[in-house]
Amino acid sequence: MVLSMVVLLVLPACQGALDGLGQKANKPVPKKLVSSMKAHGMALTSPIMLRIFKQENTLEVWKRKDTGRYALLTSYEICKWSGKLGPKFKEGDRQAPEGFYRVNKYQMNPNSQYHLAFNMGFPNAYDRSHGRTGSHLMIHGACSSAGCYSMTDDRVEEIYAMARDAFKGGQKAFQIQAYPFRMTAENMVKHRDHKHYKFWQMLKRGHDHFEITKIPPKVNVCEKRYVFNTDSTQRYPSSGQCPRRKMPATLATAFVDTQTKYNERFESLLAKVEKRDPLPIAPVDVAEILPGVTVLPKVSDLNPVAGSTSVAN
């Protein structure tokens, strides 16, 4: 008995302890969501992806349709998240992570002290390359957070059920994209002087890849930065030089066009804030925005490279 109490006391704040109850983990997806899935051409067991926006207190559940693309199924209000806008740096800083994470089946915890939970996978390869530390960073219930994203119990039951059924359908792991705010030009202008602005610019590239393709991007880490939707015959060393990489021309072109339009929008908004005329914006160059990437011959669609749903761990 004494040993059990000691174990509970040393558990990290968001890890949770076993309470011996498993029925809550087996509740079916609510009928209203099942009906919505059918209306969107989604199967109950088709893959999912989650997006988090801290500032808006929003968690989105995206699900793959019969077309192969993902669509927004539903959104939930986040009950509590810890810290401020910005990434997590070290164990005990009570900061909720930002970045791209991967949840495998073994990271699901049906017996959490916080009702239900799943581990986000922090630290990932990017976090480790920057020496960041932390453990047991979860999305869980109980509306109580010390470094995690906490939901109400009823909401986490629905999210957990959709993840559980996706695993039953064969999904190996689902992606979580955690952002400080919606990655709009308006928000980027507002936070342009923030100390984490360059980090958020990098996250926005992954965000934009998903917005273009509606398929979770393939995420790798090299040179201590995220790279998206590229393929290589060589290993991606998280702290070392990026390997020679490839990207389909259709995707590269769409990404470059998106960045050009964004830059124009950003400059227009910034000019209004600074009370001046907008400066002319040159089109984005492929070599500038995708350094070290070879653009492959055009294909018929915007499908990213094979294995697009992976995240470097």
Question: Cα angle at 159 between 146 and 164, to 5 degrees?
Answer: 115
Reply yes or no on whether the pLDDT at 10 is more than 50. Answer: no
CATH 2.40.440.10 boundaries in the chain: 13-181
Question: Cα angle at 208 between 183 and 245, to 5 degrees?
Answer: 135
Task: With H, G, I as helix, E, B as strand and everything else as coil, classify residue 62.
Answer: strand
Q: How confident is the model at residue 163 (pLDDT cuts 50, 70, 90)?
A: very high
Over residues 250-289, the pLDDT tens digits come to 999 999 999 999 999 999 999 999 999 999 999 998 988 9
Over residues 69-118, the pLDDT tens digits come to 999 999 999 999 999 999 999 999 999 999 999 999 999 999 999 999 99
Residue 156: CA count within 13 A, CB half-sphere: 29
Task: With H, G, I as helix, E, B as strand and everything else as coil, classify residue 105.
Answer: helix
User: For position 43, what pLDDT does the model report?
Assistant: 98
Residues acting as catalytic residues:
140, 148
User: For position 146, what pLDDT does the model report?
Assistant: 81
User: For position 298, what pLDDT does the model report?
Assistant: 72
Over residues 121-158, the pLDDT tens digits come to 999 999 999 999 999 999 999 998 788 999 999 999 99
Whole-model pTM? 0.91
Q: How far is 278 from 271, CA to CA, in rounded Å?
A: 5
Do 305 and 231 contact (CB within 8 A), yes or no? yes
Q: What is the distance of C-alpha 163 from the center of its chain?
A: 15
Q: Which class does domain 13-181 fall in?
A: mainly beta
